[in-house]
Amino acid sequence: METVPDTDRQTQFERLAHEIATPLRRYVVRRAPKDAVDDIVADVLLVLWRRLDDVPTDDAVPWTYAVARACLANARRTAQRQLRLVDRITRLDPPRVQPEDADHPEVHVALAALGELDREVVTLWAWEGLAPREIAVVTGLSANAVSIRLHKAKKRLAAQLGKIGLSAGQVPDTERRPR
């Protein structure tokens, strides 16, 4: 026999889902293949429902990003298992999925040169607009460690962009408008 959820719990979840829906989708879209986004968002919402009592009431977004990060890792592991199976069955090397951003491929090339955690810290700061203390919640690092890592990662990113021929903040030629 199925139990009906407590209406207060359901109301709390709906409020939380409404609050985090847009930033969560943005976070996942930037980190997952397009065909996996809805599944990962659904997984995150399922975890939020199950752990509703653990969600911080003051600022749920960083906590939600931490859950999303774990769901993304699970999705990556699942995808890797599937690729290994396909490889064993067909003995072909399946193509690797690369982040897509037709407007700024140089940025993705430069980001790819960073380590995984540095890339995550930089993108949480730049794309998601999180402060170091919020990034610390997502990554499990201390706020001080995040600040140091972010500073160094931004320097390495700027150096990578310099190698490509762009300076940090410079608009690629493809976006410059004729005057």
Q: What is the DSSP string of 42-61?
A: HHHHHHHHHTGGGS-SS-HH
Asked if domains 1-97 and 101-170 share a fold, the reply is no
Domain ranges of the chain: 1-97, 101-170
Confidence of residue 100 (pLDDT cuts 50, 70, 90): low
* Alpha helices (runs of H) in 60-131, residue ranges in sequence order: 60-90, 105-112, 116-126
**What pLDDT sits at residue 68?**
97
- What pTM did the predictor assign? 0.59
Whether the CB-CB separation of 48 and 17 falls below 8 Å is answered with: yes
Whether the CB-CB separation of 65 and 25 falls below 8 Å is answered with: no
- Cα–Cα distance for residue pair 75/136, rounded to 1 Å: 22
pLDDT, tens digit, for every residue of 101-114? Answer: 456 778 888 888 89
Task: Determine the average pLDDT of the residues in 31-44.
Answer: 95
CATH code: domain 1-97 is 1.10.1740.10
**What pLDDT sits at residue 92?**
45
What phi-psi label fits residue 130: left (phi over 0), alpha (psi between -120 and 50 degrees) or beta? beta
pLDDT at 86 over 50: yes
User: What's the CATH architecture for 101-170?
Assistant: Orthogonal Bundle (1.10)
Task: Determine the average pLDDT of the residues in 19-31.
Answer: 96
Taking residue 90's Cβ as centre, other Cβ atoms within 10 Å add up to 9
